[in-house]
A and B are shown apart, each in its own frame.
Chain A
Amino acid sequence: GQNIDQPTEMTATEGAIVQINCTYQTSGFNGLFWYQQHAGEAPTFLSYNVLDGLEEKGRFSSFLSRSKGYSYLLLKELQMKDSASYLCAVYQAGTALIFGKGTTLSVSS
């Protein structure tokens, strides 16, 4: 089976750093993705991890530990436009990409 857990909501202030955690249990692992989704809009691709470690891309970084079934998305220098839902997704065996329910991040000034 497949289970992905992430916090429902988080709040932070402009300029701060926030870490969004994701834990997963999967029958087969073939990569973990983070997507950003603004309300009513399409999910947009942020990052991809298939090996353990940290992937950095500008203000966003993503970390993966396959042995722990754990990932996090780190957002630095938060901006108001970062207020959105952040979706963790894992490929299970057989190609389906399974999404967590998302973490709604609210950034305030």
Chain B
Amino acid sequence: DSGVTQTPKHLITATGQRVTLRCSPRSGDLSVYWYQQSLDQGLQFLIQYYNGEERAKGNILERFSAQQFPDLHSELNLSSLELGDSALYFCASSVGELYETQYFGPGTRLLVL
């Protein structure tokens, strides 16, 4: 158990819908990272927040957005969902801002029908 928690574990929804994934980092960690993992693409970095501020951005679609709240938990919002958004979404956290070891949560498995 890494200490990172994610909810929900599973999510089934329809195309065009919007969902919110939630992540709580390890105690003391200030950075939160979001990743998408699909069978053909591997683990893809989406976005990083550090202490409430956006720190780095990867290949995150415009339909996706995230934020980190004052209590350091983070939410990833996915809207106008498409079939291709079906994937495992992982959150990770680290103590600091740069080049640190990331510890991953158990993931949310999203299925878009």
- Which residues of A line the B interface, CB within 8 A? 30-31, 33, 35, 40-45, 48, 87, 89, 91, 94-102
Contacts and interface: CB of A to CB of B under 8 A. Distances in A.
Contact of A87 (B4, B43, B45, B97): B43
Given A41-B106, A44-B2, A94 B56 contact: yes
Contacts, number: 53
Contact of A42 (B2, B42, B56): B2
Contacts of B103: 45
B58 interface: yes
Nearest to B33: A97
Q: Which 8 A-B pairs give the minimum distances between C-beta atoms?
A: A42-B104, A101-B42, A99-B43, A30-B99, A95-B56, A43-B104, A96-B45, A91-B99
Interface of B: 2, 4, 33, 42-45, 48, 55-56, 58, 88, 90, 97-99, 101-107, 109
A9 B4 CA distance: 29
B45 A97 contact: yes
Q: Per DSSP, are chain B's interface residues mostly helix, strand or loop, or mixed?
A: strand
Given A43-B43, A99-B44, 19 more contacts: A30-B98, A33-B101, A40-B88, A40-B109, A41-B106, A42-B104, A42-B106, A43-B90, A44-B2, A45-B103, A89-B43, A95-B48, A95-B55, A95-B98, A96-B45, A96-B48, A98-B45, A99-B45, A100-B42
Given A99-B43, A102-B42, A45 B102 contact: yes
A89 B44 CA distance: 11
Contacts of A35: 104
A95 B105 CA distance: 19
Given A42-B2, A42-B107, A44-B2, A97 B42 contact: no
Contacts of A87: 42-43
